[in-house]
């Protein structure tokens, strides 16, 4: 508190609350000004760390999920992300290395949420709603910025300042994580709120995936192309996937090339940006269909991993290109970024058209059970040798005692291998496995009987 504010408080010429408010506001302004000490190069590197961390941590995250389960790994990753988000404003205040570390760790915790999507769909969704559930569960990447950015702009201009945005996100994330850990179970069978009717719908045809409820636009294109080109259904599926990929990537490329040659008014640029994202959204039906064609029942994991790689790779490239061409808020610098992105999109379309085939992958085929191998000589027990199974003795030629014991019905070799003499093979091809007969022998030893037949 400055001397002037202290004197105002002592003389009662100014309210204590107003003095405290001015003091906090000045401190927040000093805190916020440290963000603008980062130059354009540092900002590009900062924004590049998050997708880089996501790409690197995808495989280790999957290994942890396979060992400890989705519930523990995802909850732990969300808690770590919550604390890192709350610490992000302070890392900005402390310096550039702290920001890089926090951004990288935040990106490393992101794949756990996306890898959870196929597990939720496979275990909790009905077969015909798979793709609808995938769209709903994956829209947080679009809904979150559209919800947070307007609120962030409003809060940044208020008395609280931009650090409150991160604290608000941390609080919401912590609440959602606790709710997820409390309600989510690895399987619907263990969930108390799942009725028998719901469980029966979820588990119906669990192994074989049912017919997929594709987008209406995909079905319309299938009929449209089939009638124009008069193709059979097999080729119709093939060309509809190619047409969607062509439209979804070539359309944005044309707008990006237009940005390279011409500079438009800001309002027109916004319209072009909306058109670019609208064309890119057409790629989702082709991603659904292609993943199902290639990987069949494994299409959900394949689709999610493709989404992770493409999404974070695009984020990485969009922040890496400004490092190459110089991060300056001028049209002369950004026009080359648009040109490179358009070349990447067109190249991907050409590669997809040349390499995509309407065939399933090799690893999707069912591996037949190997036929039983012929037993090795050391694994074959010898055929039991019959012996007289009655032992008799007499006392003074008046009393004859006969004892029947199964132990006397086997030769020494049979005893060694644990073979029962009552079982005889019909021919040489029928053999008796030693382990099976040994287990039966151990059970029979507990029931050995001695009978007196005649006195």
Q: Using a cut of 0.85, tell me whether the model's pTM lies above it.
A: no
Residue 402 DSSP one-character state? E
What CA–CA distance (Å, rounded) separates 80 from 203? 34
The residue ranking higher by pLDDT, 359 or 63, is 63
**Among 147, 281, 265, 167, CA closest to 218:** 281
- The CA radius of gyration of the chain, in Å to the nearest whole number, is 36
The percent of residues in the chain predicted with pLDDT above 70, rounded, is 48
Q: What is the mean pLDDT of the chain?
A: 67
State phi, psi for 391 to the nearest 5 degrees. Answer: -115, 120
Mean pLDDT of 386-396: 51
Cα–Cα distance for residue pair 136/184, rounded to 1 Å: 17
115, pLDDT greater than 70? yes
The arithmetic mean of pLDDT across residues 382-407, rounded, is 51
The pLDDT value given to residue 93: 78
pLDDT bracket for residue 407 (50, 70, 90): very low
CA-to-CA distance for 451 and 455, rounded, in angstroms? 11
| CATH classification code of 38-211 | 1.20.1250.20
pLDDT at 74: 87
User: What confidence score (pLDDT) does residue 92 get?
Assistant: 80
Tokens of 13: 């010429």
212 touches 288 (CB < 8 A): yes
For residue 418, give the 3-state DSSP assignment: coil
pLDDT over threshold 50, residue 6: no
Instruction: Judge whether 92 and 35 are in contact, CB under 8 Å.
Output: yes
Q: What is the pLDDT of residue 454?
A: 35
CB 142 within 8 A of CB 148: no
What confidence score (pLDDT) does residue 10 get?
A: 46
- Beta bridge partner(s), residue 380: 433
Of 78 and 417, more confident: 78
Select the more confidently predicted residue: 341 or 435: 341
Is 49:109 a contact under the CB 8 Å cutoff?
A: no
State the pLDDT at residue 434. Answer: 47
Q: Choose among 280, 275, 279: nearest CA to 264.
A: 275
Contact 94, 55 (CB under 8 A): no
The closest of 385, 403, 383, 384 to 393, measured between CA atoms, is: 403
Closest CA to 340 of 251, 277, 260: 260
Question: Where does residue 329 rank: exposed (0-12), middle (13-18), buried (19+ CB within 10 A)?
Answer: exposed
Overall average pLDDT of the 264-279 stretch: 79
3-state secondary structure of 23: helix
Highest mean pLDDT among 2-11, 40-49, 279-288: 40-49
Residue 27: per-residue pLDDT: 55
Mean pLDDT of 2-10: 49
Render pLDDT for 357-369 as a digit per residue (tens, 0 to 9).
656 555 555 555 6
pLDDT digits (tens, 9 = 90+) for 212-264: 443 444 454 455 445 544 555 555 555 566 677 777 778 888 888 888 787 77
Has residue 286 got a pLDDT over 70? no
* Structural contact between residues 192 and 182, judged by C-beta atoms closer than 8 angstroms: no
**What pLDDT digit, counting tens, does each position of 296-354 carry?**
566 666 666 776 777 777 777 777 777 776 655 666 667 777 888 888 888 887 887 77
SS3 of the chain: helix, strand, coil, percent, to 5: 70, 5, 25
The larger pLDDT score, comparing residue 422 to residue 81, is at 81
Q: What is d(CA 222, CA 238) in angstroms, rounded to the nearest whole number? A: 9
Where exactly are the structural domains of the chain? 38-211, 214-363, 377-445
The encoded tokens of residue 107 equal 């990106």
Residue with more model confidence, 21 or 144: 144
- Residue 106 in contact with residue 85, Cβ under 8 Å? yes
Low-confidence winner among 16-20, 83-87, 161-165 (lowest mean pLDDT): 16-20
* 399 DSSP assignment: E
Q: Say which DSSP state 389 is in.
A: -
424-431 contacts at long range (C-beta below 8 A, 24 or more positions apart): 424/383, 424/384, 424/386, 425/383, 431/375, 431/380, 431/381
Interval 169-219: pLDDT, tens: 888 889 988 988 888 877 777 666 677 777 676 666 554 444 444 344 445
């Amino acid at each position: 508190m400055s001397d002037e504010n202290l004197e105002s408080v002592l003389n009662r010429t100014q309210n204590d609350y107003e003095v405290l408010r001015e003091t906090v506001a000045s401190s927040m302004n000093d805190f916020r000004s440290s963000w603008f000490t980062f130059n354009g190069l540092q900002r590009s590197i900062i924004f590049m760390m998050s997708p880089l961390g996501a790409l690197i941590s995808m495989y280790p995250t999957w290994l942890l999920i396979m060992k400890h389960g989705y519930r523990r790994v995802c909850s732990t990753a969300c808690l770590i992300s919550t604390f890192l988000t709350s610490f992000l404003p302070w890392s900005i205040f402390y310096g550039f290395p702290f920001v890089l570390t926090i951004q990288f760790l935040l990106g490393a915790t992101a794949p756990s949420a996306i890898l959870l999507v196929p597990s939720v769909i496979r275990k909790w969704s009905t077969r015909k709603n798979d793709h609808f559930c995938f769209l709903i569960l994956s829209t947080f990447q679009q809904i979150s910025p559209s919800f947070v950015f307007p609120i962030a702009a409003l809060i940044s201009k208020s008395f609280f300042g931009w650090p409150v945005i991160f604290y608000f996100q941390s609080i919401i994330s912590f609440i959602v994580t606790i709710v997820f850990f409390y309600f989510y179970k690895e399987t619907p069978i263990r969930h108390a709120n799942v009725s028998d009717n719901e469980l029966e719908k979820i588990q119906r045809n669990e192994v074989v995936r049912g017919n997929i409820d594709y987008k209406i636009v995909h079905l319309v294109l299938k009929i449209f192309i089939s009638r124009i080109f008069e193709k059979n259904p097999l080729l119709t599926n093939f060309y509809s996937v190619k047409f969607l990929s062509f439209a979804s990537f070539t359309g944005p490329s044309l707008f990006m090339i237009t940005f390279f040659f011409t500079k438009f008014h800001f309002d027109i640029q916004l319209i072009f940006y909306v058109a670019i994202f609208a064309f890119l959204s057409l790629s989702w039906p082709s991603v659904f269909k292609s993943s199902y064609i290639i990987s069949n029942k494994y299409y959900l994991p394949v689709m999610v991993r493709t989404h992770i790689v493409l999404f974070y790779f695009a984020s990485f490239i969009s922040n890496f290109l400004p490092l190459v061409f110089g991060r300056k808020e001028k049209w002369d610098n950004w026009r080359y970024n648009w040109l490179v992105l358009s070349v990447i999109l067109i190249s991907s379309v050409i590669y997809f058209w040349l390499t995509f085939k309407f065939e399933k992958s090799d690893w999707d085929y069912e591996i037949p059970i190997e036929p039983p191998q012929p037993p090795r000589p050391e694994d074959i027990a010898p055929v039991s040798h019959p012996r007289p199974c009655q032992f008799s003795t007499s006392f003074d030629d008046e009393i004859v005692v006969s004892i029947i014991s199964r132990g006397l019905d086997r030769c020494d070799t049979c005893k060694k291998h644990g073979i029962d003499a009552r079982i005889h093979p019909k021919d040489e091809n029928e053999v008796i496995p030693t382990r099976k007969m040994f287990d039966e022998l151990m059970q029979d030893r507990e029931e050995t009987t001695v009978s007196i037949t005649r006195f």
